[in-house]
């Protein structure tokens, strides 16, 4: 089986140089060449590569608030038009409980719509984020149309973006947008509208969790470095399981910093068992390569050959699957890690297809 892949050149238009971390501005590791490296690898492997069409505002509006979308579209122009403002949007105020209504000033809105200071908005951010959302949407549509496995070269990543807030290098939640698109298409096709999102990025997918917190039609399972000592610090604990109708449809596997590959694979097997029991119509994978032992964030210890085992384990579910690119900052090793993942994934998917005729 050879994977189908989706990309768009505009995902490279977001390029802030720095973000605020631990009390200082530090270089931004989430760089445009991450997407280029992935697309070049897929082309070299002979994957059919689609450039995502523009699906307009509907897919992103199915996930995000009108306020966030209007803010993201206009923030950079409004910010840079003001005397004394920098050329990237980074807030310096935040909203707490009981504070006023929706702010009208761009500086107030910047604080209202941010969960941290690591999602700077520059001139190309809106173009890149909407291109990534289109890439995810197109991938979802291919899967709903019968494609067995699709890779979506999304960038900037999405899983830290909630309905109303950006953060952690993320602006629009690509995986959530893909899941909503699939649910709508499955319902229209008379298929069971149930999707599982497996988040294997090293960081907890707090935005995705928040979006589907009270939903039972999207099962969110995340494996990540323990937030007690790793970003996002405030979410991703084992006790977070959803609420209301969504209770039990969110599951978290916080893993101690430096967890070995063997222990990671054991946790993954457990998580995949939950997804199998849920019985989704399709799977969305928030695919982060920052679980790599050589990643600068040093969260978990999956080796380059180990990614093949991660890919094989996921493919063994036998589900139509959309792989949505999230993090992964050892950029020089990104192609090797993605290649290893796809080797394992494609081999296991092929075996699965043979077994089931
Ligand atoms: Zn990450």
How far apart are the CA of 29 and the centre of ligand 1, in A?
A: 11
How far apart are the CA of 342 and the centre of ligand 1, in A?
A: 19
Architecture of domain 4-16+29-54+123-355: 3-Layer(aba) Sandwich (3.40)
Mean pLDDT of 50-75: 98
How far apart are the CA of 326 and the centre of ligand 1, in A?
A: 7
Q: Tell me, what's the pLDDT at 27? A: 96
Q: Tell me, what's the pLDDT at 349? A: 81
How far apart are the CA of 222 and the centre of ligand 1, in A?
A: 11
Structural domain boundaries in the chain = 4-16+29-54+123-355
How far apart are the CA of 349 and the centre of ligand 1, in A?
A: 26
**Residue 32: pLDDT band by 50, 70, 90 thresholds?**
very high
**pLDDT tens digits, one per residue of 100-145:** 889 999 999 999 999 999 999 999 999 999 999 999 999 999 999 9
pLDDT at 345 over 50: yes
Mean pLDDT of 33-43: 97
Mean pLDDT of 235-255: 98
**Average pLDDT, whole number, for the chain?**
96
Round to the nearest angstrom and report the end-to-end CA distance of the chain: 14
Q: Tell me, what's the pLDDT at 1? A: 65
Mean pLDDT of 248-268: 98
* Residues whose beta carbons lie less than 5 angstroms from ion ligand 1: 201-203, 288, 290, 327
How far apart are the CA of 100 and the centre of ligand 1, in A?
A: 33
How far apart are the CA of 158 and the centre of ligand 1, in A?
A: 10
**Portion of the chain with pLDDT greater than 70, in percent:** 98
3-state SS track over the chain: CCCEEEECHHHHHCCCCEEEECCEEEECCCCCHHHHHHHHHHHHCCCEEEECCCCCCHHHHCCCCHHHHHHHHHHHHHHHCCCCCCCCECCCCCCCCCCCCCCCCHHHHHHHCECCCCCCECCCHHHHHHHHHHHHHHHHHHHHCCCCEEEECCCCCCCCCCCCCEECCECCCHHHHHHHHHHHHHHHHCCCCCEEEEECCCCCCHHHHHHCCCCCCEEEEEEEECCCCCCCCCCCCCCCCCCHHHCCCEEEEEECCCEEHHHHHHHHHHHHHHHHHHCCCEEEEEECCCCECCCCCCCEEECHHHHHHHHHHHHCCCCCEEEEECCCCCHHHHHHHHHHHHHHHHHHHHHHHHHCC
Mean pLDDT of 47-53: 97
Mean pLDDT of 41-59: 97
Q: Tell me, what's the pLDDT at 231? A: 97
Q: Tell me, what's the pLDDT at 355? A: 42
Catalytic residue among 76, 113, 160, 349: 160
| Active site annotation includes 160 | yes
How far apart are the CA of 328 and the centre of ligand 1, in A?
A: 6
**pLDDT tens digits, one per residue of 298-310:** 999 999 999 999 9
Q: Tell me, what's the pLDDT at 352? A: 54
**pLDDT tens digits, one per residue of 189-213:** 999 999 999 999 999 999 999 999 9
Pairing of strands 321-325, 282-287: parallel
**Portion of the chain with pLDDT greater than 90, in percent:** 94
Tell whether pTM > 0.95.
yes
């Amino acid at each position: 089986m050879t994977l189908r892949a989706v990309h768009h050149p505009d995902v490279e238009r977001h390029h802030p140089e720095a973000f605020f971390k631990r009390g200082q501005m530090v270089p931004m590791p989430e760089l445009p060449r991450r997407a280029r490296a992935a697309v070049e690898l897929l082309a070299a492997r002979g994957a059919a590569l689609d450039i995502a069409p523009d699906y307009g505002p509907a897919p992103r509006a199915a996930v995000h608030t009108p306020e966030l979308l209007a803010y993201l579209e206009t923030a950079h122009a409004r910010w840079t038009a003001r005397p004394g403002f920098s050329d990237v949007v980074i807030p310096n105020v935040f909203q707490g409980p009981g504070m006023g209504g929706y702010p009208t000033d761009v500086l107030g809105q910047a604080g209202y719509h941010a969960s941290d200071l690591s999602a700077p908005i520059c001139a190309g951010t809106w173009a890149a984020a909407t291109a990534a959302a289109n890439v995810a949407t197109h991938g979802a549509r291919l899967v709903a149309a019968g494609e067995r496995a699709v890779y979506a070269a999304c960038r900037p990543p999405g899983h830290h973006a909630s309905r109303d807030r950006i953060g952690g290098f993320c602006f629009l939640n690509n995986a959530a947008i893909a899941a909503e698109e699939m649910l709508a298409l499955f319902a229209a096709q008379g298929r069971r509208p149930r999707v599982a999102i497996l988040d294997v990025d090293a960081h907890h997918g707090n935005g995705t969790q928040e979006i589907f917190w009270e939903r039972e039609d999207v099962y969110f399972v995340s494996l990540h470095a323990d937030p007690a000592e790793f970003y996002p610090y405030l979410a991703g604990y084992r006790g977070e399981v959803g609420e209301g109708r969504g209770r039990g449809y969110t599951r978290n596997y916080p893993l101690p910093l430096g967890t070995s590959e063997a222990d990671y694979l054991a946790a993954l097997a457990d998580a995949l068992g939950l997804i199998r029991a849920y019985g989704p119509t399709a799977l969305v994978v928030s695919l982060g390569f920052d679980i790599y032992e050589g990643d600068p964030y040093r969260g978990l210890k999956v080796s380059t050959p180990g990614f093949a085992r991660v890919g094989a384990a996921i493919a063994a579910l036998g589900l139509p699957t959309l792989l949505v690119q999230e993090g992964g900052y050892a950029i020089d090793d990104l192609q090797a890690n993605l290649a290893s993942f796809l080797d394992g994934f494609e081999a296991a998917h092929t075996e699965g297809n043979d077994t089931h005729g």
